[in-house]
Structure formats: structure tokens, C-alpha cells
Amino acid sequence: ASTANKQSHTTEINCEALDLEEVKANNLTKYIAKQPFTLLGKAKFSVLFWDIYESSLLTSDGKKPFNQACQQALFEIQYLRDISKKDLLDNTVSQWQHLSLKESEYLLFLPLLESIWLDINAGDRLSMLTQRNKTLFYLNSEYIGEIESITFAKTFLRIWIDEGTSEPKLRLKLLGDNV
């Protein structure tokens, strides 16, 4: 009797084969029209009686972000008041600290964010699109920069979707049924 030789094969996921083309700079609106996204949820963030922003979270497969390698996530914030780049950066760091992230987990991202982000005016929409190992940022659908990193998008979105977020009600609204 002969024993069949079984080989184990690891297959690299080919996202292109799944028709997930990469975004071209300055083309967010066209890209979204071609690559459908499913809205997971929307939420408004307010402090006392001031409305700060409205946010929405969408994914290419309708599931919680980062559930598979080829999934893309689109997180958008429509600002309802002016906010300076410095305040955006300071608030981001404050939220990472709230989540007890080590400085080593986010420190390298701060100069990159500082070079990408701009002062925000009421009515502006800041969008973050994740694609495999990079995160692209858009202001009012215009490309403003990107961060090439396997960990950045997850680290950044933890501010809103981590179980330890400072805004658990906002998290529940953003994730909808995908909690």
C-alpha cells in the first residue's frame, strides 16, 4: 500500500483577484461610486450642548473593520465646528492614552499625521480609507496624504471602535449590528 504524499499549501490572498482595486489619489468620490461600501453605522459626537462632528463607518464587505485582509474600511468625519490641526493631534494622542496604548505604538505616526492633516473648518469632511497596508486621508474628497503601515489604521480606529473607547455609545452606533 502506498501512502499519498500530502503537501500543505499556503495561499497568499490576492485582493486584486477579488476586484478590490486600489484607490488612485484625488479620486475618492469616483472610487466609492465604483467600489461599493456598506454603511455599518453613523454617530454624532457632542460635548455638553456643542455638536462637534458626525461620523460614519463603512466597509467593503459590511462586516466589522479588520475582519479579513482584503477588506477596506472608510471612516468619515463631517465636522460641525472649526478645529485646528494642533487640536486634532492633541485629541488623537489623548484618546490613545485613554486606551492605554504605549507611546511606542503611536509615536512614529504623529509626525506623519502632522504633515498630512490641516486645520478643519465647519462643514469639512475628513475621510480615512484603509487598504491592506496603507491608510489614505482625504479632506472634502481631495487626497491629502497617506501612511504606509500595517498597524496604523487599526491603531487609529481604536479611538472609536475599541471596547475601551471613551465614547461607548458612539462606538455602538458606528458598529451597528457588528458589535
H helical segments located in 25-178 = 28-34, 85-98, 103-106, 109-116, 152-161, 168-175
25 backbone dihedrals φ, ψ, rounded to 5°:
-50, 150
**pLDDT given for residue 36 in this prediction:** 81
Residue 33 has pLDDT above 90, yes or no: no
Tens digit of each residue's pLDDT (9 = 90 or more) over 69-117: 889 999 999 999 999 999 999 999 999 999 999 999 999 999 999 999 9
- Each residue's pLDDT tens digit, 106-163: 999 999 999 999 999 999 999 999 988 899 999 999 999 999 998 999 999 999 999 9
Give me the chain's average pLDDT, please: 87
Question: What is the average pLDDT across 161-178?
Answer: 92
Say whether 4 sits in a helix, a strand or coil. Answer: coil
**Cα within 13 Å of Cα(5), Cβ side:** 1
pLDDT at 5 over 50: no
Q: How far apart are CA 13 and CA 68, in angstroms?
A: 10
